[in-house]
Structure 1
Amino acid sequence: MTQRQGDAAPLEARGGSAPRLRASWQRSARYGVPDDEVKPVFTGSVDTSSLLYECGREVLQGLQATLANEPVSLMLTDSEGLVLSRMCGDTDITRSLDRVHLAPGFYFAERNAGTNGLGLALADRAPSLVRAADHYCTSLRGYTCAAVPVLDPLSGGLAGSVNLTTWSEQSSELLLALAQTAAGHTSALMLARASGRRPRQVPRGEVFRMYADQVDPPRLSAGWEHPLVEVLDAMRRGQTVLVTGEPGTGKTALAAMARRELRPRERLLNARSPGQDDVAAWLTVWAPELGKERTCVIVSGVDSLPAWAASELAHRFSTAHREAAVAPFVLTAVDPGALPEPLVAHVDTAIEVPPLRFRPDDVLPLARHFAHRVRGREVTFTAAAARALAAYDWPENVKQLRRVVREAAARSEVVDVPHLPAEVFTNAGHRLSRLQAMERDEIVRCLAQPGATVVGAAAELGMGRATIYRKMTQYGIKARQLRS
């Protein structure tokens, strides 16, 4: 990495943290983060029903009470750097953080803001202190940030982070210790309250630019290729396309691939619709991009937009389309029948992407593709693992497959049955509580061991043979697929 003049000294002064900071700066440069200011990436919705949010806010409220007169802002983020909550009694630092978009609803991962405390903590999954000139963006150098990852107490996965930010001239000796304490208490409280809880998923109004490597899957089956060709042909005829399908089928990816084929040099943006209360801010972020030269916006989830927002979009679409030979936008929706009335006139053709369960030949090519992106090289799937992936119904479609494969490939370059989650070998037909999911996972773990038998698994788990057979039926566990 080529450092800017004057930046070397702060990094050298950090001792053991300097390599991490240098690596973070290199990533920031590779991501194309501007070095003078933070470019905001806004989501119109924050999941306030999750266990992380509930427990993290409770812990931070207690900490804030002890720091009431201090210029310290306490923040909670999710695993992707989305700021979920911010607490601070000092109006000066609150206004200042608003100006750099370090506020709820904004992403502050390294990809968005360069080297910063919470971004580094999430990237490295380690406590991080980023002082003044350690920040990649000069607009952040007035602050010192201490952040610590919060781990899910059941899965061990990254749930989010706790971030404490103060002025750069303030003493930071205790800042990281306070953040570590808060993160530990949050994780402990999550464990105490985890039984039977499932965080509710809410829409996030993300707006981001799509690059070729984000929309370049392998050669897939006719079930994918046919709608892709249909979308491309419609675009060539100047038609406005609505791509439909179940959540997670890859509607946005298919629309982006067709657009890349039609106009390879075009700037491609994706605007994912937010929750109902945040539509106005979401529109403000991206709607001005409509109609700009060589720019196309894929607007995802338009069937969830309120009528007033649909009317506003329809007006903007009319203006943008009149000035372009090819429609400068593509729409996606789960249910075309729920398309808001103002947008109906702006759709020339609707094309459906089949769910993954109707495209079983696509499962392994996609799995190898996702695994390669995790490892940066080819990943092998054993015959047993391949059979299990191909036989599963994938109720959450490609989105679920990507998550499963990423976790498995992160564990091994040769993915076998033990590396796959229990959900792949089961078909319970209904959502499980956390306790039920833990029980299911333990049964699958025992049955997946080399040479395992149902009798042996029952003995290891302290269950009767009849009980474990009943549990296998209850959870839809497919024992034969667990044998390598």
Structure 2
Amino acid sequence: MGELEQHAPDRVVASWRRSEDYGVSHGEVQPRFSGAPPTESLFATCGREVLGDLHRSLAAEPVSLMLTDADGLVLDRRSGDHALLRALDAVHLAPGFSYAEREAGTNGLGLALADRTPTVVRSEQHYALSLRGYTCAAVPVLDPRTGRLEGALNLTTWSASHSDLLLALARSAAGTTTALMLARSGGGAAPTPSRGAVYRVEAPRLEPGSGTLTGLSASWTDALTQVRAAVASGRVVAVVGERGAGRTTLLAQAARAERPRGRVLAARVPAPDDVATWLDLWSPEVGKEHTTVLLGDADLLPAWAADRLRDLLPGAGPAGWGATAGRLEDLPAALVPLVGAVVQVPPLRERPDDVVPLARHLAHQVRGREVDLTPAAEQALRDHGWPGNVAELRDVVRDAATRTDVVDVRHLPAEVLSQGTHRLSRIETFERDEIVRVLTRPGVTMREGALELGMSRATVYRKIGQYGIRLPRG
């Protein structure tokens, strides 16, 4: 380890230490075999297509191209070099085997997934001796719509081969995969990673993020009671659930209720390139009296940053800290042992009684006063599935409340009034939106709507069923 520390990047040294903690063998790598890998995901489909195109241009080169899922499971492998393929088979770097850092120690794809950043691991930097004949470059791929880690593109070659372009090729392949996923998921703008807003301090006053909305459903109230009990006892709480469901709000409400005069510092994990600066800016606040730290989206945290936080967070003051994640098992391994309580926050679709109170509350935020909702609009909001949870509701209400004092169904986007089961093309989306726009105008009859749309009434009824459009009753 001493020589490695002098010459290897800090991230590689940190990975070696984790590999030791995991008990990975220093000799021959022994990755876990999971059988036939799944193939149905959008990431796997797009990644295989990109891998195939790249393989055709590199078929004569001593390079193996691999696609892995977020757990390091190899989904696909391509190479025109049969000697390299035989050698990779000998170390089980093949479909069905997991090369996550926990399974195989320090390696390119495992470290890229752990730290969520492009990575090159060369020969002697590998933890296992049996991997030191290779150089690996890997780039993680995030879902362009949700930011969730989907997997990685990995290029492996002999250590003696010229490898300067490996990382550039891996970056290009990963970027193409992301673009293809975005196009096939219906397009639209990809979410912008958090930048600039390093942390937010919730002031000790009544405000939406700190728990003023009352009268919500029993499932929300029960979750809040559990978090409050954990905070009151000084335990570290992990609030898990879907993004946008109110995980950070739940933590903030509990912290504010238990310590009404304290500070609530909400630090949400930013883009990977900004993590070092992010840590330096907010971590000095940890341990200050009457300060509660909320680590949002902790499952997006690179492993090296989690290692640093593991040594920092247990020394927090009596107000403690909490974290949010999709699932407890998605948290970095360094943080999991620190968690003393896990609370699940239900998605909005499982809390239909919360939709209208939240909508009214959000509308008041936008306008600074009460905004009315018609019974038809309330029903439409309750009936929608809200795949984007409260974050989606906020966007819908904000758009409607800026255009009217009384929100009706005609002010809601077409997707709120439809329950289609398949992804629509651009033409289908335009057609659905036009049908909704025409038929939700006050007083319009089906005959008048069909005439304006240039369709027969029978066709309009068929299209309503095809798109799952729910029109207001009465």
Once residues 399 and 382 of structure 2 are traced to their aligned partners in structure 1, the CA distance between those partners, rounded to angstroms, is 17
- Alignment match, 1:158: none
* 1:325 partnered with 2:321: no
In 2, are the aligned partners of 1:197 and 1:434 still within 8 Å (CA)? no
* 1:267 partnered with 2:257: no
Q: 2:403 aligns with which of 406, 411, 426?
A: 411
Alignment of 1:76-475 (within 5 A): 197-205=187-195, 206=197, 207-211=199-203, 212=205, 213-215=207-209, 216-320=212-316, 324-327=317-320, 329-475=321-467
Q: Secondary structure at the match of 1:342?
A: coil
Once residues 470 and 313 of structure 1 are traced to their aligned partners in structure 2, the CA distance between those partners, rounded to angstroms, is 57
Once residues 451 and 305 of structure 2 are traced to their aligned partners in structure 1, the CA distance between those partners, rounded to angstroms, is 59
- AA at the equivalent of 2:302: P
- AA at the equivalent of 1:400: E
Deviation at 1:435, TM superposition (A): 4.4
Q: Secondary structure at the match of 1:332?
A: strand
Q: Secondary structure at the match of 1:242?
A: strand
- AA at the equivalent of 2:383: A
| TM-score (structure 1 length as normaliser) | 0.55
Deviation at 1:357, TM superposition (A): 1.1
Once residues 381 and 441 of structure 2 are traced to their aligned partners in structure 1, the CA distance between those partners, rounded to angstroms, is 18
Deviations along 1:221-267, whole A, 9 cap, x unmatched? 11110010100011111110001111111011110010001111112
Q: Secondary structure at the match of 2:267?
A: strand
Q: Would the alpha carbon gap of residues 436 and 316 (structure 1) be closer, same or farther in structure 2, given more than 3 Å must change?
A: farther
Is there any run of 5+ residues in structure 1 with no aligned partner, and where?
1-192
Once residues 464 and 373 of structure 1 are traced to their aligned partners in structure 2, the CA distance between those partners, rounded to angstroms, is 43
Deviation at 1:363, TM superposition (A): 0.9
In 2, are the aligned partners of 1:218 and 1:369 still within 8 Å (CA)? no
Once residues 426 and 284 of structure 2 are traced to their aligned partners in structure 1, the CA distance between those partners, rounded to angstroms, is 44
Deviation at 1:379, TM superposition (A): 1.8
Deviations along 1:187-213, whole A, 9 cap, x unmatched? xxxxxx9xx631112431542222341
Deviation at 1:332, TM superposition (A): 0.5
CA RMSD, 1 decimal: 2.2
Q: Secondary structure at the match of 2:343?
A: strand
In 2, are the aligned partners of 1:446 and 1:457 still within 8 Å (CA)? yes
| TM-score (structure 2 length as normaliser) | 0.57
In 1, are the aligned partners of 2:306 and 2:334 still within 8 Å (CA)? yes
In 1, are the aligned partners of 2:289 and 2:319 still within 8 Å (CA)? no
- AA at the equivalent of 2:332: P
Identity over aligned pairs, percent: 50
In 2, are the aligned partners of 1:447 and 1:454 still within 8 Å (CA)? yes
In 1, are the aligned partners of 2:269 and 2:297 still within 8 Å (CA)? yes
Once residues 380 and 235 of structure 1 are traced to their aligned partners in structure 2, the CA distance between those partners, rounded to angstroms, is 37
- AA at the equivalent of 2:318: A
Deviation at 1:431, TM superposition (A): 4.5
Moved more, 305-314 or 285-294: 285-294
- Higher Cα Rg: structure 1 or 2? 2
Q: Secondary structure at the match of 1:393?
A: coil
- AA at the equivalent of 2:331: L
Deviation at 1:278, TM superposition (A): 2.6
Is there any run of 5+ residues in structure 2 with no aligned partner, and where?
1-182
Deviations along 1:157-181, whole A, 9 cap, x unmatched? xxxxxxxxxxxxxxxxxxxxxxxxx
Deviation at 1:464, TM superposition (A): 4.3
Q: Secondary structure at the match of 1:364?
A: helix
In 1, are the aligned partners of 2:295 and 2:324 still within 8 Å (CA)? yes
* More relative contact order, 1 or 2 (CA 8 Å, 6+ apart): 1
